């Protein structure tokens, strides 16, 4: 996975929990405390999963809590600062979620070895969306956390449920 993801995890942990916690997470994951994750560098998926597992252990929070904190930080702080031009034109929650495939394709088109997830989005009924999350990385909790982050970005109330490893349902209350 691309270094930008872990760079964002590190920024979040340092800002909310302190530099020493991030150093501990890296050390437990077998990495040097001063390692830097460049945006486009490749980080092995196993290293990514170790860092996420150790984040739960060191911070004393669940995977779902890490995933929600990550989703909020990615959308509302990190990507908003670095990748805003890829989604600034999307004026509503639904447009953003329905544009996820194209956002990922455009952000990663110039990055060698990028392997972004794919999303299929369906209208179930008015105000209810179903997302098929297609990836062999099985990060569905993170995908759900990101969808909640998009709800916050538009300042709307959304109920996001993980239905299976590849399915997310969103109820939009506007």
The residue written with tokens 């994750």 in the block is 37
Lookup: tokens for 16: 């909310």
| CA atoms of 34 and 12, how far apart (whole Å) | 16
- Rank residues 58 and 100 by Cβ distance to ligand HEM and give the closer one: 100
Residue 147 CA, chain-centre distance (Å), reads 9
- Rank residues 58 and 131 by Cβ distance to ligand HEM and give the closer one: 131
Write down the least CB distance from residue 36 to ligand HEM, Å. Answer: 17
| Contact criterion met (CB below 8 Å) for 70 and 142 | yes
3-state class (DSSP) for residue 28? helix
- Rank residues 130 and 137 by Cβ distance to ligand HEM and give the closer one: 137
Asked if 4 is part of the footprint of ligand HEM (rule: CB under 6 A), the reply reads yes
Asked if 73 is part of the footprint of ligand HEM (rule: CB under 6 A), the reply reads no
Asked if 83 is part of the footprint of ligand HEM (rule: CB under 6 A), the reply reads yes
| CA atoms of 35 and 90, how far apart (whole Å) | 35
- Rank residues 49 and 86 by Cβ distance to ligand HEM and give the closer one: 86
Lookup: tokens for 89: 């034109």
φ and ψ at residue 45, rounded to 5 degrees: -60, -35
Write down the least CB distance from residue 140 to ligand HEM, Å. Answer: 8
Write down the least CB distance from residue 171 to ligand HEM, Å. Answer: 15
The contact set with ligand HEM (CB under 6 A) reads 1-2, 4-5, 79, 83, 86-87, 100, 103-104, 107-108, 114-117, 135, 137, 139, 142-143, 146-147, 150
């Amino acid at each position: 996975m691309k270094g930008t993801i872990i760079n964002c995890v590190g920024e979040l942990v340092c800002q909310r929990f302190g530099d020493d916690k991030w150093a501990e997470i890296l050390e437990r994951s077998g990495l040097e405390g001063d390692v830097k994750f460049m945006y486009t560098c490749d980080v092995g998926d196993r290293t990514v999963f170790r860092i996420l597992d150790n984040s739960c252990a060191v911070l004393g929070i669940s995977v779902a809590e890490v995933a929600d904190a990550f989703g909020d930080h990615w959308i509302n702080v990190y990507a908003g600062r670095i990748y805003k031009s890829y989604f600034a034109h999307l004026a509503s929650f639904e447009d953003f979620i329905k544009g996820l495939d194209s956002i990922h394709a455009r952000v990663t088109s110039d990055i060698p070895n990028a392997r972004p997830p794919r999303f299929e989005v369906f209208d179930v009924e008015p105000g209810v969306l179903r997302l098929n999350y297609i990836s062999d990385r099985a990060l569905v909790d993170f995908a759900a956390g990101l969808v909640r982050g998009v709800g916050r970005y538009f300042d709307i109330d959304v109920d996001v449920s993980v239905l299976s490893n590849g399915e997310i349902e969103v109820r939009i209350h506007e």
